[in-house]
Each structure stands twice: as C-alpha cells, then as structure tokens.
Amino acid sequence: MNYQEMFSPFLNAAADEARRIALSYFRKSFSVDEKSDRTPVTQADRQIEASFRAQLAKIFPEHGIIGEEYGMDKAGAEFVWVIDPIDGTKSFAVGRPLFGTVIGLMHHGQPVAGMVDQAFTEERWIGFQNAGAHFNGRKISVAAERPLETARSFFGAPNIFTKQDLPNILRLSEIVKWPHFGCDCYAYGLLAMGCIDLVIEQDLKWHDIAGILPLITEAGGHVQSWSGKALSENWDGTIIAASGQKLAQSAAEFLAR
C-alpha cells in the first residue's frame, strides 16, 4: 500500500492549518491552563486538535483518532490518526521555538506515517513507510552510527525522569558528546536528518511518539524502549531513539546499571 500517495495531501494540509493556528498565538498574550495531571494546555493546543478532527471527519470519516486533548474516537478502525497538537507546550508558552505538531497514522495498529511540523521556523519532517523520510521535501537520513562516547545527544528535561533513573541519566550526559536537556519533538527531527545521534526520554504517552516512530525508522534510525522492546500503545513510556541499533543498545545497557 502506498501510504505516501494516499495520505500525503491530507497530512500536509492538516499541518499547514496547524501551523497557521500555532503562529496566531505564538509569542503573543494568551492564557495557559493546567490539566489534572498538572501539564499545561493552551487554546492553541485545543484549537489545532479540533481543527484536525474536523478535517478528518470531512475527508476520511471512517478513520479513527487518538488525540491528547479530546481522547479517542473510532480507535478500533483500520486507520487511526494520533495527534499531539503542540508537543512542547511549555516551550510554546514561553516563546521557545522547539515545540511542534506531531501527527502519526496507524494501519491495523502499526505506525505507518509520521510528521513533525515546527511552525515558527517553517520546518517539516515527514516519514512514510517504504517511502523514506523527508525534510521540507528533501530526502534525509540519520548520521553514520557512532560509539556512545561520541554521540551527540539530547535528553528530556531532568524533571521527567524518576529519582531512581535521573542519576544514571546525568552520568550518561557526562559521557556522551554535547549533551542537551529539554528537547521536545524538535530533537527527533534533528536525529532524522543526521544532526544528532541519540535522544533519550521517559514518561511519554502514545500521542508523543506515534508520529515519531515512522519518521526515525524511515530515516534509517532505530527506536526502542529502555528495556530494548519495540514501542506500542501500551509500552512503558521510555524511549531511546538513535542513529543505529548498536548505539541504542549501548545507551540501554548504561541506563540498566
């Protein structure tokens, strides 16, 4: 099945609208609410997801959707879209252009397409199964695999890691090359295009990464949980995304100490 041919026009149109909405709020005065889990949400988050749902209902009414803000609808359908309208809401709220809209598509429960769109910098990464990964229309790939000690690395913000795991994360950050903390979805775009080599996070939800998986794998990278398992809807919320499997396993072994 040619997923790129079938869904690229819809995905790009949805991303264009999400970009328009995000920019209508970014670096302007708006309120930030707090959800029950103490994570922030803005009107931009809600508006982007509502717009996506409306477009989906019009173009592919038989498709399902899983969204961060408004939950599930037809989650057992053959095709199910997964959207994080603004991944990195904290970045968005303080004017830091590392946020992005993340959209994934599952076919029979397997991620087959994914996109990260950064509205302010006008950058878009898209991956379709069996069609490769592209950045603003140009085909991209991960960098040649490096040893852990020379891996250019991004980590989630320190507060997302458990007290048990944070010491190992900090020790690992002293070993790798050029460590960065607080990455949001932007880091995965950098990984897909070969600018960095490794991304490690914890406490993620399916809407955070369903659109990331096809992007990284189609760029030639490798994604796994800290325990080495493939990621699915009910995984443990940990992720190691790397330019290759050997690098990911090296990071996992270090974290398991």
Give 10-residue mean pLDDT values along the chain (257 residues): 96 98 94 81 95 98 97 96 96 94 98 98 98 98 97 96 96 96 94 98 96 98 97 95 98 95
pLDDT at residue 86, as a whole number: 97
CB burial of residue 181 (10 Å; 0-12, 13-18, 19+) = middle
User: In the Cβ-directed half-sphere of 130, how many Cα atoms lie within 13 Å?
Assistant: 5
Q: Rounded to whole angstroms, how far apart are CA atoms 180 and 43?
A: 29
pLDDT at residue 154, as a whole number: 98
Nearest to 242 by CA among 147, 174, 163: 147
The predicted model scores a pTM of 0.96
pLDDT at residue 34, as a whole number: 82
Q: Rounded to whole angstroms, how far apart are CA atoms 22 and 216?
A: 24
**41 in helix, strand or coil?**
strand
CA diameter of the chain: 51
Going from the C-alpha of 189 to that of each of 186, 205, 211, the distances in angstroms are 5, 18, 11
Which residue type occupies 140?
Answer: I
Alpha-carbon 229 to chain mean position:
18
| Total Cβ atoms within 10 A of residue 14 | 23
Q: Rounded to whole angstroms, how far apart are CA atoms 163 and 249?
A: 22
Q: Answer whether 64's CB lies under 8 Å from 77's CB.
A: yes
Q: Rounded to whole angstroms, how far apart are CA atoms 243 and 143?
A: 6
Q: Rounded to whole angstroms, how far apart are CA atoms 134 and 192?
A: 9
pLDDT at residue 30, as a whole number: 85
Q: Answer whether 113's CB lies under 8 Å from 209's CB.
A: no
Q: Rounded to whole angstroms, how far apart are CA atoms 13 and 131?
A: 19
